[in-house]
Amino acid sequence: MIVKNGESSLDHKTVNRRLIKENVSYRTFLSRNSENRGKILIFICASLIMAATMSITLFLTLQGIRSFTVDGLNPIKFLTGIHWNPESHQHASYGALPFIFGSFTVTILAALIAAPIGIGSALFMTEIAKTWGQKMLQPVIEILVGIPSVVYGLIGLSVIVPFIRSQFGGLGFGMLAAAIVVGIMILPTVASLAADAIKSVPDEWRQASYALGATKWQTIYKVVIPAALPSLLTAVVLGMARAFGEALAVQMVIGNAKVLPHSLIEPAATLTTMITLSMGHTTDGSVLNDALWSLGLILLIMTYIFIILIRFLSKRGRLS
């Protein structure tokens, strides 16, 4: 008998059911050794996550575009305007550029701080001092990951802000303080992801390198780092995504001035700090409330961009 792809010649009256796939029904779901039961449970969990993600996206999008569709704000002016002055009755203005600028600057500076130190310590514990480096640094990193952000904020407030004040003058609050605090905060994330990336570089390449007369340092920076580079970049981007979304610690040290700062040591604000600081004082449906939702939408879009970037990097990392 010829059976075409996807068709079955076995009808339901077949006597020998042993080798025949069971149909999905409530009965298979209740039966203890059913394969389908597990599958259905897992499917439900997966759908819940998808539904949650999609509804958050949808909700934020709908709320976020209200300021343009309902309140009539100009989206270009919203993104490029540098004056945020919602309280003024005649000339209320909603320019989000200072906060977008603040978010990006803090994120990039934090990455500049966390990337070299994080990758450096990852290299130290995987390549240089394998045994005791691992033993010492691993728990330290785990503790650092577990510290709540408010603690980082407090340390920033009591150590970093006064330090900047004494070194550079001014108040000490600003993007520099925020970048340092957030940089330290994402450091453990970057370090542990980078360590995983370096560990996954096959030992054969190190062997090949040493056998060709490479020194340890040459092996690290000519073989190990290039081989791990896509994953290392992923580690940094993931850290940046965290930095971009951090509100509490940043809010404690950035000074929260709704203006475009002229330097790194002047008070500024970010998208997240604006939302956390202002949201409580607004009423649902007011223009300011809608504008804050729009800031949230920008954050969400940035998150998506970070994720696409990570996907792209890790795909490129897979070797042909």
Closest to other proteins by CB, 7 vs 203, is: 203
Residue type, 69: T
- DSSP per residue, 128-155: ISHHHHHHHHHHHHHHHHHS-HHHHHHH
Angle between helices 130-146 and 175-199 (to 10 degrees): 140
List the one residue out of 315, 314, 128 whose CA is nearest residue 224. 128
List the one residue out of 35, 131, 94, 24 whose CA is nearest residue 286. 94
Write down the least CB distance from residue 312 to other proteins, Å: 18
Write down the least CB distance from residue 206 to other proteins, Å: 8
Write down the least CB distance from residue 317 to other proteins, Å: 10
Closest to other proteins by CB, 104 vs 210, is: 210
Closest to other proteins by CB, 124 vs 163, is: 124
Strand, helix or coil for residue 266: coil
Burial of 288-319, coded b for 16+ CB within 10 Å and e otherwise, reads bbbbbbbbbbbbbebeeebeebbeebeeebee
Write down the least CB distance from residue 195 to other proteins, Å: 19
Closest to other proteins by CB, 6 vs 213, is: 213
Helix then strand then coil, % of the chain, to nearest 5: 70, 0, 25
Write down the least CB distance from residue 210 to other proteins, Å: 6
Closest to other proteins by CB, 33 vs 131, is: 131
Token pair 């270009």 is found at 76
Closest to other proteins by CB, 91 vs 315, is: 315
- Rounded Cα distance, 232 and 225, in Å: 8
Binding site for other proteins (CB under 8 A): 131, 202, 204-205, 207-215, 218, 222-223, 226-227, 319-320
Write down the least CB distance from residue 225 to other proteins, Å: 12
